[in-house]
């Protein structure tokens, strides 16, 4: 079965969190779906080797999720194996996906019971900083408090608030974006580019610390006022009025998994020169941060940053392939 065509779902960090900075965490894998619908996981731990040929450069639907509770959800594969037209989903799976409804809940809308149970668990608000210094505000459910930041590929992150539910945390997130100007998204390609020349650890920690402190100050003011800062809501009694039990301000550093250290340190490396959406590739994985691997190629000592997110929703065949060593050695050093 060497020529089985697998649909790539992406990089997942669902394992147990790293407890200290010396420990690997998350047990990252590349998740694949066989034609018969079975899931296969390829380990991306340091020392692993990944070899594949892209069988189809087009994107196919990754299905959708049904949320049953805080800890239980089903991933329902696309019954039609349809082409992806909405990101990594077909029109039907996009419409059926529960995560699409999270924003309705945030705005006071009705959601299915399972999703409601999920959203009623505690959530965390965090500030994450990436290798080039770009920072964002984001949210994580309590059960995925650590994993969410691992899959994002944060270099430094701090939790700034613990919220009573998924609605409150998204109101806080929007408020931080509005008042502190922190984005809610840093593009995958931008994270990968930044990892080609990461800023020093102390610089990134300083950037993150300043953003986190500013957000905590702002949240402190909102907690005192019992509402979002003046002028941000049209009515006097806004739907964003907070009660003391809605959230608490915290100051907690996220523990970065040890297997990301090699990517986050400013050592010599290069952007992987081949388009991942086509051709044959094979490399060793020396480090992993989010979806980005620090890869070693047979025949050179140079290290390369490979963004595995570019494989998501594409079809590959696994095998003992090797990436071509780029013929630009002199300029690399
Ligand atoms: Zn679909």
Supply the DSSP symbol for 47: T
252-309 per-position pLDDT tens digit: 999 999 999 999 999 999 999 999 999 999 999 999 999 999 999 999 999 999 999 9
If asked whether residues 123 and 240 sit together in one domain, one would say yes
Q: 31 CA distance to ligand 1 centroid (A)? A: 17
pLDDT computed for residue 226 by the predictor:
67
Q: For the chain, how many structural domains are there in total?
A: 2
- Domain interval for residue 48: 1-62+258-333
In the reported structure, the alpha carbon of residue 137 is separated from the centroid of ligand 1 by a whole-number distance in angstroms of 30
* Residues of the chain above pLDDT 90, percent: 81
> Residue 111 domain-assigned?
no
Q: How many angstroms separate the alpha carbon of residue 275 from the centre of ligand 1?
A: 26
The pTM for the full model equals 0.92
Mean pLDDT of the chain: 91
Residue 93 lies in a domain: no
Which residue is listed with tokens 């082409």? 83
CB under 8 Å to 10, separation ≥6 — which residues? 30, 31, 62, 291, 308, 309, 311, 312
Residue 71 falls within a domain, yes or no?
no
Q: How many angstroms does the Cα of residue 33 sit away from the middle of ligand 1?
A: 13
Q: How confident is the model at residue 230 (pLDDT cuts 50, 70, 90)?
A: very low
Strand 39-43 relative to strand 49-56: parallel, antiparallel, unpaired?
unpaired
Whether residue 169 is predicted with pLDDT greater than 50 in this model: the reply is yes
Is pLDDT above 80 for 235?
no
- In the structure, what pLDDT confidence band is assigned to residue 240 with cuts at 50, 70 and 90? low
- Average pLDDT, integer, range 198-217: 98
pLDDT higher than 70, residue 236: no
**Bridge partners, 25 (sequence order):** none
Would the pLDDT of 244 be above 60? Answer: yes
- Same domain? For 246 and 327 the reply is no
What confidence tier does 223 reach under pLDDT thresholds 50, 70, 90?
confident
What's the gap in Å between 300 CA and the centre of ligand 1?
A: 41
> What is the model's pLDDT at position 328?
60
**Residue whose C-alpha is closest to residue 154's, from 174, 124, 118, 115:** 124
Give domain status of residue 208, yes or no. Answer: yes
Looking at per-residue pLDDT, the higher value among 128 and 245 belongs to: 128
Establish if 103 belongs to a structural domain. Answer: no
Indicate whether 197 pLDDT > 90.
Answer: yes
Residue in the structure block whose two tokens are 């034609």: 35
Q: What is the pLDDT of residues 26-72, one digit of tens each?
A: 999 999 999 999 999 999 999 999 999 999 989 999 999 999 998 89
Ligand 1 centroid, distance to 90 Cα (angstroms): 4
Residue 261: phi, psi to the nearest 5? -55, -40
Q: State whether residue 247 is helix, strand or coil.
A: strand
Q: Is 207 helix (H, G, I), strand (E, B) or coil?
A: helix
pLDDT value, residue 224? 79
CA 101 to the chain's CA centroid: 19
Tell me if 297 sits within 8 A of 304, measured CB to CB: yes
Lowest mean pLDDT of 4-8, 22-26, 109-113, name the range. Answer: 109-113
User: Which is nearest to 171 in space by CA: 226, 107, 243?
Assistant: 107
Last residue of one domain, picked from the residues 256, 285, 303: 256
CA of 120 to the centre of ligand 1 (A): 28
- Identify the domain boundary among 256, 272, 297: 256
């Amino acid at each position: 079965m060497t020529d089985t065509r697998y649909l790539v779902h992406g990089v997942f960090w669902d394992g147990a969190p790293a407890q200290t900075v010396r420990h690997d965490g998350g047990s990252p894998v590349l998740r694949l779906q066989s034609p018969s619908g079975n899931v296969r996981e390829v380990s991306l731990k340091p020392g692993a080797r990944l070899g594949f040929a892209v069988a189809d450069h087009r994107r196919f639907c990754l299905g959708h999720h049904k949320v049953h509770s805080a800890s239980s959800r089903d991933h329902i594969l696309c019954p039609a194996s349809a082409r992806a037209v909405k990101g990594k989903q077909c029109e039907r799976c996009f419409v059926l996906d529960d995560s699409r409804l999270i924003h309705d809940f945030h705005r006071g809308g009705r959601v299915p019971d399972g999703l409601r149970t999920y959203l009623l668990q505690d959530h965390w608000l965090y500030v994450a900083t990436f290798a080039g210094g770009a920072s964002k505000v984001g949210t994580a459910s309590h059960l995925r408090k650590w994993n969410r930041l691992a899959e994002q590929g944060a270099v430094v992150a701090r939790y700034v608030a613990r919220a009573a539910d998924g609605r409150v945390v998204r109101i806080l997130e929007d408020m931080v974006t509005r008042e502190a100007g922190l984005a809610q998204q840093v593009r995958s390609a931008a994270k990968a580019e930044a990892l080609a020349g990461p800023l020093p650890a102390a610089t990134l920690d300083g950037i993150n610390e300043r953003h986190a402190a500013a957000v905590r100050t702002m949240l402190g003011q909102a907690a005192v006022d019992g509402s979002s800062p003046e002028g941000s809501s049209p009515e006097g009694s806004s739907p964003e009025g907070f009660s003391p039990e809605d959230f608490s301000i915290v100051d907690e550093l996220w523990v970065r998994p040890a297997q990301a250290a090699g990517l986050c340190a400013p050592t010599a490396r290069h952007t992987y020169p081949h388009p991942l959406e086509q051709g044959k590739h094979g490399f060793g994985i020396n480090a992993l941060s989010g979806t980005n691997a620090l890869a070693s190629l047979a025949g050179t000592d140079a290290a390369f940053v490979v963004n595995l997110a570019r494989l998501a929703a594409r079809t590959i065949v696994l095998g003992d392939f090797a990436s071509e060593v780029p013929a630009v050695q002199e300029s690399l050093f």
